[in-house]
Chains A and B, each alone.
Chain A
């Protein structure tokens, strides 16, 4: 899926991902958590990598991965987001919930990254060939079979 870095695309991606997650057998709650994680990842790209520019390029890839685990097969949904924006300073994007400070001192920065890490089973970030690549993995519940993405 090729996207532009316009916040208006977020609802389109949520809608598409909602249908996919439903087909893959995720519960309503897990479906919401995956959508939230991807939405926050795209938001971070728009805000931090592209600093609010609206016509830059984002590539989103969704696929199913099969892996053998303890004698049985495990299926995961892999989501890869690519952008060619500024390198992301992970130190500045420290994930954290908000309760650790009194209300007056709370700052919401880092909350989106916290949602991403909390909601996904694996989160990997790398910078390669001048592009940012974020790889998210969600292990799917056991099922007879999964439809290809």
Chain B
């Protein structure tokens, strides 16, 4: 898994690629929570278009990010989910909790 961060005004875009599993999901969790809790970014957008696979530990990291955003009244959004990532979030029954968009342009709209 690779993570890159872009800053755009009061928005952080986190570009994630590769597989998210037990070996690296703590790193993803740390990055997301840092943006919300330490930097107090009001909107964090996760670009998952390069993610091929996610497991339950990755879902747990996303859930932690979602909870942090709710606690701080921030927004946690994502886009670019492929069929496998969508399938895992559907299985988790979490799909409706997240703000999910087709692409970056839609996710960045005010």
Contact = CB atoms under 8 A, between A and B. Distances in A.
Contacts of A115: 55-56, 88, 91
A108 B63 contact: yes
Contacts of B59: 108, 111
Interface residues of B, number: 23
A7 B21 contact: yes
B interface SS class: helix
Interface size grouping (class) on chain A: 20 to 34
Contact of A14 (B53, B57, B92): B53
Interface in A95-148: 97-99, 103-104, 106, 108, 111-112, 114-115, 118-119
A84 interface: no
B36 to A, nearest CB: 15
Interface of B: 19, 21-23, 53, 55-57, 59-60, 63, 66-67, 70, 83-84, 87-88, 91-94, 97
